[in-house]
Amino acid sequence: MQGSKLYVGNLTYSVTDEQLEKLFSQYGQVKEVNLIGSKGFGFVEMATAEEAEKAKEALDGYAFEGRNMKVDEARPKKERPANRSFRRY
């Protein structure tokens, strides 16, 4: 694994940042937790790539709050066009 940021998916909508931080901190230092609204996914950044790898191996498929989490290395953000406005004629 190259990076220390993980994608975490298939979460229940009620999961909090604090719950994820507590869970992932068992595998190393958690630098940041970022849940995306109530979409059922988010990102966890660990202090090192090694800690991220340990967390991924341990938690991918782990039953958490009634659902099996999907944990994988986060992909870099794609560049989006600056002007995304939609014009209707």
Has residue 34 got a pLDDT over 90? yes
Q: How far apart are the C-alpha atoms of 77 and 9, rounded to whole Å?
A: 16
Task: Give this prediction's pTM.
Answer: 0.84
5-67: which CATH number, 3.40.47.10, 3.30.70.330, 3.30.700.30, 3.60.20.10? 3.30.70.330
Rounded average pLDDT over 17-46: 95
Res. 85 pLDDT band, cuts 50 70 90 = low
Could you tell me which residues are beta bridge partners of residue 35?
Answer: 42
Q: What is the pLDDT of residue 38?
A: 80
| Measured torsion, CA atoms of residues 75, 53, 58, 12, in degrees rounded to the nearest 10 | -30
pLDDT tens, position by position, 2-16:
789 999 999 999 999
Q: Give the start-to-end residue ranges of the domains of the chain.
A: 5-67
Name the residue with higher pLDDT: 53 or 80.
Answer: 53
